[in-house]
Chain A
C-alpha cells in the first residue's frame, strides 16, 4: 500500500542537455546558427535584425514595426498575395515584427519543403519590395489599431506607464507609434530603414527543427551568401526620467468595472551581471503563480484573477512593473498590498524553503520551455541579440542554482524602490479617486490620451 499522507520522493534526475548548436559566419558577416531536433516534421527559420524601435525618432515613431509589417507585402519577384500563396503551398506560416531591440522574420515550414522555402525567406530578408500602396494600407491599419487601443484598459495602462517613465523617446512613445507619427512615415523613411538596418552584418539567421545542420548551413549560404554588407548601425541610448517620490496617475475610464494597476520604475538592462539573481528574486516576488504578490492579491484576498511582476530586460534598462487588474472597490487596498510586498522583499525576509522552491522551479522548468523547434530558435535568438556566451543555455540551470539568499536580498535592495514608484491606475475615477487619496501620494488625473485634467 502506498502512503498517501506524504508526497512521493523523486527518482534519480535524468540528464538534460541543450541541443547541440552548429555555428557559422558567412563572408558577408551574416551569422548562422542551426539546431536539429525531431519532435515534429517542422523547420523553423528565423532572421534577427539587431535594430528595432529603439532606432525610431519620436516624429516617426512606429517606423521599425511598419517596415516589419511591410516585409510580406512583396519580396523578390513576388507581390504580397503571390508570396502568401506560395508559402501556403509549402505549408508555411510567415510572421514578421519588431520590438524595442530588434526586427524579426519567422517562417515555420513543413520540413519536406525547407529547401524551397529558403529562397522566399531570403527574398523577404534581403529583397523586400516595400511597395508604396502596401505602406498606405499598413498605415491605415496601424492607425485603426491605435484607435482601437483606446478601449483596452491594459493597453491604456501600458502606454501611460511607459510614457510617464521614459518621456518622449524610445521606450516612452509607443513601439507601434502614435496616430500622428504613423501618418508622417514616408516611403523614403521605410526604404532607408530597410537599407540601413537589414544588412547581413546586422543580422543572425537561426534554423531549427527536423533538418540536417550541414544541409541547413549550405542552404542559407546559397540563398544569403551574396547579400551585400553595409555599415553597422550605431546603438541608440535611452534616457529614462526619474521620480523622487511615489505618485499616482489616475486615468479616468468611466465604464470600467476593474482598475488596471501598474506600479513600478526603471529596471535593468539585459546585460546586467545581476541577471540571474534578479530572475530568482522576481520569480519569488511576482513572477510565477505561487509568488508573493499573486498569492497575496489572488489567493489570500480574491482581489484579482492574477497579478504579476516583470523586469522588461532589454538592451537598455526597460521598466520594472507590477501589473494587476482588480475590482474597483479594492483598488486602494491592492496598491497598498503591492507596495507592502515591494517593501517586504527588501528586508531580506526570504525563507530558505521559499528560495529553494523558486530556484528549483526555474531550473526544472527550463527543459519544458525548449521542446519545439520554435522554442529552441527563440533561445538562440536571445544569445545572438544580447551577445550571450555560446554555452549560455548549457549552463543556464547551474547559474540559477548558484543564486544565494544574500544575492536576492542585495538585488531587491538595489533594484526595487517602493518609495520612488510610478503608480498608474486606469479605472473609474469617480469611484476610486477618494479612497486613493488616503494613501497620501499626489494624484494627477489624466484622460485616456494622457492629457491632464484639472
Chain B
C-alpha cells in the first residue's frame, strides 16, 4: 500500500502527494484533462501542437529555457498528448522541487505573454517532421490513423489520431493557441502529483505559493459525444509500400476501468502476449503462417478499444491469417479458457502494475491518470482487485460478446502490386 495524500487548492487544482525517501529525487507530474478528444474537425492535432508550444517559454521563462533549467540541474522531462489528456512531467534532484513548481506554474498562469507567431511556426514545422518520422515515412505508419478513421464516425473525435493532419496543422493560428489555453489550461482542469523525497508540509507550502494565485475557469466545455454502435463490420483494404500483408483490427469495448474493459485486458493477454498465448502459439509457433501477432487495449476514457494485429509470412495470404484468427477467437468464446491461462494473464497485469510503481516518474504518472479519469488516486492501491476477482467465465463471455464482426473495424495493409 502506497501512502497517498490528496487535497484541493482554492482554485480547484487537485494535488496528490506520495512521500518516499528511497532516492533523493522528486517527480513533478501534471495531467491536464484535455486531449485530441477535445479538438474539432479542421483543427485536428491541435492539442499536441499546443503541448509543444508549452515548452517554448512563458512570461518569466525564455524560449527553450524550460528544458535548459531542468536539464542543467540533472532533471529529465517531457510531455505527451493522447486522446483524453496531456501530461507534463519532470524528475528532479529533490532539492530542486521549487524549480519544477516555478516552471510549471509559470506556464500554467503566465504562458500567453510569451507567445509569438515565430514560435508557433517553428513548432508547427517540428510537429510536421514528427508526423513524417512516425507516420508517413515508415511502413504501416498510418495504420492506427486508418483504423480510427474506419471505426469512429467523423464527428466523434476518436476518429483522428493525436498527431492530426498536415492540413490542419498548417491552419492552426495564434488565436487558436490563445483560445485553447484560456479554455483548458486552468488549475481546475489539472492534477498535480508529487512523488518522492520531500517533506509534505514544505511541499504544500510551495504548491500554494506557486499555484494558489492562478485563476480557475470554473467550467469546461463538456464532452458529450456518444459513440454510436457500428451496426456492422467496417472494412478497408489499403495498398502501400510494405513487404508483407498485415491485418489491423479494432474491437469496441466499454471505457477504461469498466468491468468488461478489465476482462478485455485479460482477454488480450490470453490472445497474444507470449509464445504460449493463443494466437502466438497457433499462428506463429505451430502453423508458422504469421510473422508476429499482437493484442492490447488502449487506456481510453470515453470508450474502449481492443487492438489486434498480425503480419502474414511471405507467401501467406491475409485471408488465411484472418480466418485463423477468427477461428481461434470463436474457439475461445465457445470453449473458454483454462485456470492457468487466467493465472498467467493476472500475473502479467500484476507485473505491469509493479513496474508502474517502481520508478517515481511512472508512479506519479499513473496516480495522475487515476485521479483524472476516476477522481480518486487511491485506485492505485486497489487497481488489481478486479483482475484478481475475474473468472474464466468472465473472460470467455467478454470474447463472445465483444469480439464479433458487427463490433469491429478491420484494415488490411497489402504490399503495392
- Which of A34-42, A217-225, A231-239 is the interface stretch? A34-42
Asked if A298 is an interface residue, CB under 8 A from chain B, the answer is yes
Interface residues of B in 55-92 (CB under 8 A from A): 59-60, 63-64, 67-69, 71-76, 91-92
Residues of B within 8 A of A85 (CB): 276, 340, 344
Minimal beta-carbon separation of A191 from chain B (angstroms)? 22
CB-CB contacts below 8 Å: A14-65 with B: 14-16, 37-42
Asked whether A153 lies within 8 Å of B68 as measured between CB atoms, the reply is no
Indicate whether A96 reaches chain B with its CB closer than 8 angstroms: no
CB contact between A2 and one of B125, B209, B340, B360 (< 8 Å): that residue? B209
Q: What B residues does A10 contact at CB under 8 A?
A: 73, 93, 95-96, 98-99
With A15-B24, A39-B22, A144-B313 known as contacts, the answer to whether A371 contacts B358 (CB < 8 A) is: yes
Q: How many A-B residue pairs have CB under 8 A?
A: 218
Contact B24 A13 (CB under 8 A): yes
A367 B351 Cβ-Cβ under 8 A: no
Q: Within the complex, which residue of B59, B132, B244, B285 is in contact with A81, where a contact is CB–CB below 8 Å?
A: B285
The answer on a CB contact under 8 Å between A361 and B340 is no
Is A245 in contact with chain B by the CB < 8 A criterion? no
Q: Which residues of B contact A325 (CB under 8 A)?
A: 129, 132-133, 137
On whether the beta carbons of B74 and A152 are closer than 8 Å, the reply is no
Whether A14 and B24, one on each chain, are in contact in the complex, defined by CB atoms closer than 8 angstroms, is yes
Known: A88-B274, A91-B351. A302 touches B95 (CB 8 A): no
> Could you tell me the dominant secondary structure of chain A's interface residues?
mixed
Q: Are the CB atoms of A304 and B129 closer together than 8 Å?
A: yes
Is the Cβ of B73 less than 8 Å from the Cβ of A327?
Answer: no
Q: Which residues of B contact A295 (CB under 8 A)?
A: 64
Q: Could you say which of B76, B94, B130, B133 contacts A365, with CB atoms under 8 Å apart? A: B76
Whether A150 is near chain B, meaning CB under 8 Å from some CB there, is: yes
Q: Which residues of B contact A257 (CB under 8 A)?
A: 132, 136-137
Any A CB within 8 A of the CB of B234 = no
Residues of B with C-beta under 8 A to A140 = 288, 313
Would B122 and A299 count as touching, CB distance under 8 A? yes
Contact of B94 with A144 in the complex, beta carbons under 8 Å: no
A256–B141 CA distance with the chains assembled, in angstroms = 13
Contact B73 A11 (CB under 8 A): no
**A320 interface residue, CB < 8 Å from B?**
no
Contact (Cβ within 8 A) A147 B244: yes
B interface: dominant SS: helix
Which residues does chain B contribute within 8 Å of A37, judged by CB atoms?
Answer: 22
**A290, CB-defined interface residue at 8 Å:** yes
Interface residues of B in 341-398 (CB under 8 A from A): 343-344, 347-348, 350-351, 354-355, 357-361
Q: A299 — which chain B residues lie within 8 A by C-beta?
A: 63-64, 122, 126
Q: Are B360 and A89 in contact (CB under 8 A)?
A: no
Task: Assess whether A88 is in contact with B99, with CB atoms less than 8 Å apart.
Answer: no
Give Cα A10–Cα B69 distance, bound, in whole angstroms.
12
Chain A neighbourhood of B284, CB < 8 A: 141
B291: Cβ under 8 A from any A Cβ: yes
**Which residues does chain B contribute within 8 Å of A80, judged by CB atoms?**
275, 285
Chain A residue nearest to B109 (CB atoms) is A4
When chains A and B are docked, how far (Å) is the Cα of A144 from the Cα of B292?
Answer: 10
CB distance from A30 to the nearest CB of B (A): 27
Q: Which of A14, A92, A372 has the largest number of chain B CB atoms within 10 A?
A: A14
- In the complex the two chains form, is B122's CB within 8 Å of A110's CB? no
* In the complex, per-residue mask of A343-361: 1 if CB is within 8 Å of any chain B CB, else 0: 0000000000000111011
Nearest CB of chain A from residue B111's CB, rounded to whole Å: 13
Quick check: is A387 within 8 A (CB to CB) of the other chain?
no
Q: Are A290 and B67 in contact (CB under 8 A)?
A: yes
Given that A10-B99, A42-B354 are known contacts, is A81 also in contact with B347, CB under 8 Å in the complex?
no
The 9 closest A-B pairs by CB, nearest first: A364-B74, A302-B125, A91-B347, A88-B344, A357-B72, A14-B24, A151-B139, A8-B98, A11-B95
In the assembled complex, 11 residue pairs joining A and B whose CB atoms fall closer than 8 Å, in A order, are: A8-B98, A40-B355, A110-B347, A141-B291, A144-B244, A147-B243, A290-B68, A290-B71, A357-B68, A361-B75, A373-B358
B binding-site residues for A, Cβ under 8 Å:
22-25, 59-60, 63-64, 67-69, 71-76, 91-99, 102, 106, 110, 121-130, 132-134, 136-139, 197, 209-210, 241-244, 274-276, 281, 284-285, 288, 291, 313-314, 340, 343-344, 347-348, 350-351, 354-355, 357-361
